[in-house]
Structure 1
Amino acid sequence: MTRSGTPGEGTRPRVRQAGQLGWDDGLYEEEPEQDKGSGAGSGERRAAAAEAGHRRGGPKRRAKKGRHRVLRWSASVLALLIIGGAGAGYLYYEHLNSNIKKADLTLGDKKMAGHKANAAGQTPLNILLLGSDARDSKENQKLGGAKDTFGAPPLADVQMLLHLSADRSNMSVISMPRDTMLKIPKCTNPETKRIYPATTGLSMTNETLGRGGPGCSVATWYELTGITIDHFMMIDFSGVISMADAIGGVPVCVKGNVYSHTSTGKGSGLKLEEGTTKIKGKQALQWLRTRYGFEDGTDLGRTHAQHMYMNSMVRELRKGTKLTDPGKLMNLAEAATDALTVDKGENGLGSVKKLADLTDELKKVPTKRITMTTMPNVYGTGTLKERVLPKPGDAEQLFQMVRDDVPLDGKASKRKKKAAAKKPTASPAETPVTVRNGTRTETEYAAKGRATTVKELLAGKGFTQASIDSQYAEADKRTGILYPTVDMEGNAQAVAKALGIPLSAVKKSTDVSGITLTVGSDWREDGGYHAPSADEKTPDSARALNGDDDKACMDIQPGFGW
């Protein structure tokens, strides 16, 4: 029995606890083929590799030989690029549409707020790209191995949020390390109706996929970042080899000879000479999976290598690489659609045409305006010392920039237009406002009396019909104002102006019946509201990589040269 990245398509009686310390990170590494006659597999080199290889997944544990899993990276981007640029004639076969699997966008209880349009009426687009380790085909099993894990709940081991700006001038990507510890909200499996309660403590982010499907990963991202997510694309992808071959390979660079292999059999098996090499086939897959041998041997280095690969592939496609072989094109289209799971519904991405239309939007962004980043993070302490947490200040700054549609490359911030102001249709005294206390945090109870205090502030500004929602008990990191219909937008903005809340925090939502102000944990103290400033600068800790940077080159981990 195989396992699948979508609910209800595979079960397994034996479930591994991925979030526990001591979970075998060796499952993420492929046993490399023995190098014949090169001397690269010498005892001295292997000993050095074993000494240098730092494993970040938890305390060391003996790995069983032959257990290896393909690291499912965000091949969604590649699928989009290929589908959009390969030639419409081959992509509109009806059976390709039927290949695409579909699932609910979000499985959480909290409804996502709508986007705020810019002055031109345009809205941004956010897509969560998920890489699953599920094995739902013979090809995936052949590439992934680890037969004793077939049928186990899938893990979202690669998670990247792609943000396309409202004016389509720039694109940003935020990767979240797979061992990020966070709180997972309540999720309900849409097929089995099983309810997964919100976690009381911290859990690994990659466990979200096994709690009902990709919709739980979406709900978790929204809970953490406050970023409205429009779509998700999940890949359990054996087609990455076909894609790399179809465009003739992807150039990558290493600063020294590298061989990803340890004396205990871990490593992707990648072996490259110093400098730039155009990789394809199995070698491309090895690059995307390599951890031992890059930088400090952690997932952060692997993520950076994936960013380099993605940028390089985009450049190859943009500079005129052609897909002219009909046979290769058909195989590529089959592999891409068969391995893809997207959000369903009228507004979902469940057809080749919708994917192609989306790709046309992505193509509008020049490579020099693409920015790849990693969520700023810090190591935990105690039992979490080999896990990571969002870095205080820096992580929220990055999330806020995406929420506010601020380019992460910093090039267009001076041209960014402020949210358009609407004229109120009623006076403050005629405008009902519901106030909620959402100041609860992960470590503190809700600040007592905050809703009452803000209600009194509103009354002092003339909003005498303000009332309190005493039943509201949710936690909100940011103070915001929601309104249900367009005719209330001006009135909602008037409430924001009265309290010094930025207009970007005023959003339309069908989740409320009237103007609703939620006091977030960023306003726990008395006094006026002070909006946190993102100062329109991407934190250095995000390791921003520009899409036009063709000089990027991976550092090699000591002990893995040859």
Structure 2
Amino acid sequence: MAQSSVRGEAPAVDDTMSLVPRDRKTAEGDGRPGGKGRGGGPKGDRRRRRRRVLRWSATVLAVVILGTAGAGYLYYRHLNGNIQKGQRSIGDSKARKARPNAAGQTPVNILLIGSDSRNSDENVKLGGSRDNRGNPPLGDVQMLIHLSADRKSAAVVSIPRDTRVDIPKCTDPVSKQTYAATNNIINESLARGGAGCTLTTWENLTGVYIDHWMTIDFAGVVDMADAIGGVDVCVNQNVWDRPLPGVPGGSGLKLKAGTTNIKGKQALQWLRTRHAWGSDPLRARAQHMYLNSMIRTLKRQNVFTDSGRLMGLAEAATKSLSVSDEIGTVKKLYDLSMQLKSVPTDRITMTTMPWVEDSQNRNHVVPDGANAEKMWQMLRDDVPFDKNGDANPSGKKKTDTVETAAKSPSTPADRLGVLVQNATRSSTQPPVPGRAKAISQVLVRQGYARAAADTTAALAEDRTVVRYPSADLEGDAQAVAKSLGIPLGSVKQSTDVSGVTVVVGADWREGTAYPKESAPKAGDLPGNADAINGSDKNQCMDVYKPYQW
């Protein structure tokens, strides 16, 4: 490119100057006295031509930028149009959002639901069971993803699909059909109005407020697995999950012993396999191995620097997922993924809810009382499931905790009506007779002369709570809790009650003093939580003998 001889002038943006004879450049257009100046003449012509070129270049650049931006905007709208959305909660939940920590941060809880929907040709092809086409989908895979308030750790908890739980009354937001409360296995909750009912079921079971839900079906799993490019999984023996005499079904998964990179339909088969592992809880372990491997793969790929792969993932994800309304845009999903991406793999822990066999049906399971409650408490209190973080990141003393602020009561104790309910029944134990009467008598001795026991049927609550209906009674409810030694964090506002109500849970089955609990510590999970750390690359599934080949 020819360079202008005018001192301080930028080089020309085109090569038109190279067409001018060199002697004319130096004699007529060098800008020195004697040459043609800013007026007419060859130099003026050249400058006009240069300005025209610059204007033309700027116009083309503007068109390109606007065209690209327009295409980007249209693609963004296209991705947003892919996303299906629904109401976050469609039942009456007793869970309340966690209070912010000292830095003003709160945890994020996301419920991931794998639907067995067979309401499309692709899902029937992948999932079989054509007779079930058109039936409401079941939530065969359910995982709660907990992102800590400081965004430094994450936990995943699976609940086996055959876990018997209380499913609340739910109303389908589309059809407006109302489903009565029932006690049934948890995968049935999705068919009772959608993911919002499953979310509310989880909240009432765990006491954990869940911010969002996401669902994915068979075809979505295949699309996502293909977009990622494959995930490494491992089996200790050759596996073939196929129908056997007396045991129909099977995912069709067939792998040789060792590590295999799976994607597409094979990834779906891995995630659906149950018989070859021996049980539904072991299927959850295989799913956890897959997820850990997928996370490591995505981090290794650095997909956000590969525009082609990123677009493929964006297309697959937005087509595959249905989400709750409040995260129903590409930007919100991207922001959420960035928060999850920041967690190191050694701070990610996959677990399964501690469970025991259901006494009513040996093919079902129920939460393992104290062990399950311990896990729920760790989630509610935002206690890391791993031991790999800073034991005291804020530098504060362990006694410096953020406590619920106490408020002054509005009614004298002797004039306050207090109802006490017996909710000591649990999934594994019958109710303790007379608990409501015993605790109401304690309150009477404490000066609450109008305290009385509820004589209706015993309820079921894992944890003792004090509920109140409106903000003006919060201070009164806190005073009642304090008189019984119940933590202020267990005082909750609820539309279920008409006055201050003490609900004596399964954690207080005996005695008149509320049992003191030691706060759970990081990594102190129950032994039957089947925990797997995200950085563990050595996990490998054992194959149930009949399905080896």
TM-score bracket for the superposition, by shorter chain length = 0.7 to 0.9
Does the aligned pair in 1 maintain the 2:251–2:273 contact within 8 Å? yes
Matched with 2:133 is: 150
Matches within 5 A, 1:286-365: 286-294=269-277, 297-322=278-303, 329-344=310-325, 348-365=326-343
1:236 aligns with 2:217: yes
1:477 to 448, 457, 462: 462
What is the Cα deviation at residue 559 of structure 1? 3.6
Partners of 2:72 and 2:83 in 1: how far apart? Answer: 18
Matched with 1:73 is: none
Does the aligned pair in 2 maintain the 1:421–1:490 contact within 8 Å? no
Matched with 1:520 is: 505
SS in 1 for 2:373: helix
What is the Cα deviation at residue 156 of structure 1? 0.7
Does the aligned pair in 1 maintain the 2:421–2:453 contact within 8 Å? no
Partners of 2:312 and 2:434 in 1: how far apart? Answer: 55
Pick closer, same or farther for the CA change 1:519–1:365 going to 2, 3 Å: same
Matched with 1:205 is: 186
Letter in 1 for 2:508: W
Unaligned 5+ residue runs, structure 2?
1-70, 393-397
Does the aligned pair in 2 maintain the 1:481–1:516 contact within 8 Å? yes
Matched with 2:23 is: none
What is the Cα deviation at residue 312 of structure 1? 0.7
Does the aligned pair in 2 maintain the 1:502–1:531 contact within 8 Å? no
Matched with 2:527 is: 540
Does the aligned pair in 1 maintain the 2:228–2:313 contact within 8 Å? no
Matched with 1:420 is: 402
2:255 to 264, 272, 276: 272
Does the aligned pair in 1 maintain the 2:139–2:189 contact within 8 Å? yes
1:390 to 363, 367, 372: 367
User: For each residue in 1:1-40, what CA deviation from the matched residue of structure 2 results, as whole angstroms up to 9, or x when unmatched?
Assistant: xxxxxxxxxxxxxxxxxxxxxxxxxxxxxxxxxxxxxxxx
Partners of 1:318 and 1:375 in 2: how far apart? Answer: 27
Partners of 1:90 and 1:329 in 2: how far apart? Answer: 16
The structure where helix makes up a greater share of residues is 2
What is the Cα deviation at residue 386 of structure 1? 2.0
Letter in 2 for 1:447: R
User: For each residue in 1:416-453, what CA deviation from the matched residue of structure 2 results, as whole angstroms up to 9, or x when unmatched?
Assistant: 77542466564798789764423233543773435633
Partners of 2:476 and 2:103 in 1: how far apart? Answer: 21
SS in 1 for 2:545: coil
Larger RCO of the pair (alpha carbons < 8 Å, separation 6+): 1
Matched with 1:551 is: 538
Cα RMSD between the aligned structures?
3.5
SS in 2 for 1:530: coil
Pick closer, same or farther for the CA change 1:535–1:279 going to 2, 3 Å: same
SS in 2 for 1:251: strand
Does the aligned pair in 2 maintain the 1:118–1:417 contact within 8 Å? no
Pick closer, same or farther for the CA change 1:512–1:179 going to 2, 3 Å: closer
What's the TM-score once normalised by structure 2's chain length?
0.74
What is the Cα deviation at residue 503 of structure 1? 4.1
Pick closer, same or farther for the CA change 1:350–1:471 going to 2, 3 Å: farther
Partners of 1:89 and 1:255 in 2: how far apart? Answer: 47
What is the Cα deviation at residue 160 of structure 1? 0.9
Matched with 1:94 is: 77
1:159 to 134, 142, 145: 142
Pick closer, same or farther for the CA change 1:350–1:322 going to 2, 3 Å: closer
Partners of 1:290 and 1:449 in 2: how far apart? Answer: 50
Partners of 1:488 and 1:417 in 2: how far apart? Answer: 29
Matched with 2:32 is: none
Matched with 1:63 is: none
Pick closer, same or farther for the CA change 1:96–1:433 going to 2, 3 Å: farther
Does the aligned pair in 1 maintain the 2:94–2:204 contact within 8 Å? no
Q: Using the TM superposition, name which of 389-398 and 260-269 deviates more.
A: 260-269
1:453 aligns with 2:441: yes
Letter in 1 for 2:295: V
Partners of 2:399 and 2:121 in 1: how far apart? Answer: 51
What is the Cα deviation at residue 225 of structure 1? 1.8
What is the Cα deviation at residue 298 of structure 1? 1.4
User: For each residue in 1:385-434, what CA deviation from the matched residue of structure 2 results, as whole angstroms up to 9, or x when unmatched?
Assistant: 22222223222222222222222224459537754246656479878976
SS in 1 for 2:327: coil
1:380 aligns with 2:358: yes
1:125 aligns with 2:125: no
Letter in 2 for 1:259: W
Pick closer, same or farther for the CA change 1:233–1:472 going to 2, 3 Å: farther
User: For each residue in 1:26-78, what CA deviation from the matched residue of structure 2 results, as whole angstroms up to 9, or x when unmatched?
Assistant: xxxxxxxxxxxxxxxxxxxxxxxxxxxxxxxxxxxxxxxxxxxxxxxxxxxxx
SS in 1 for 2:513: coil
Q: Using the TM superposition, name which of 410-419 and 166-175 deviates more.
A: 410-419
Matched with 2:11 is: none
SS in 2 for 1:102: strand
User: For each residue in 1:79-137, what CA deviation from the matched residue of structure 2 results, as whole angstroms up to 9, or x when unmatched?
Assistant: xxxxxxxxx96997113223222222222234432323323332222221111111343
Pick closer, same or farther for the CA change 1:425–1:129 going to 2, 3 Å: closer
1:170 to 145, 153, 156: 153
User: For each residue in 1:180-220, what CA deviation from the matched residue of structure 2 results, as whole angstroms up to 9, or x when unmatched?
Assistant: 12232222223333222222xx4221111111111221222
Does the aligned pair in 2 maintain the 1:134–1:155 contact within 8 Å? yes
What is the Cα deviation at residue 486 of structure 1? 9.2
What is the Cα deviation at residue 505 of structure 1? 2.5
Letter in 2 for 1:155: L
Does the aligned pair in 2 maintain the 1:247–1:321 contact within 8 Å? no
Partners of 1:125 and 1:162 in 2: how far apart? Answer: 8
What is the Cα deviation at residue 305 of structure 1? 0.7
Matched with 2:168 is: 185
Matches within 5 A, 1:77-92: none
Pick closer, same or farther for the CA change 1:369–1:503 going to 2, 3 Å: farther
Pick closer, same or farther for the CA change 1:307–1:317 going to 2, 3 Å: same
Unaligned 5+ residue runs, structure 1?
1-87
Pick closer, same or farther for the CA change 1:425–1:92 going to 2, 3 Å: farther
Asked which structure has the greater CA Rg, the reply is 2
Partners of 2:81 and 2:137 in 1: how far apart? Answer: 22
Does the aligned pair in 1 maintain the 2:508–2:514 contact within 8 Å? yes
Pick closer, same or farther for the CA change 1:447–1:491 going to 2, 3 Å: closer
User: For each residue in 1:149-195, what CA deviation from the matched residue of structure 2 results, as whole angstroms up to 9, or x when unmatched?
Assistant: 11012111111111122222211111111111223222222333322
Partners of 1:376 and 1:89 in 2: how far apart? Answer: 47
Does the aligned pair in 2 maintain the 1:372–1:544 contact within 8 Å? yes
1:505 aligns with 2:490: yes
What is the Cα deviation at residue 378 of structure 1? 1.9
Does the aligned pair in 2 maintain the 1:435–1:451 contact within 8 Å? no
Does the aligned pair in 2 maintain the 1:439–1:520 contact within 8 Å? yes
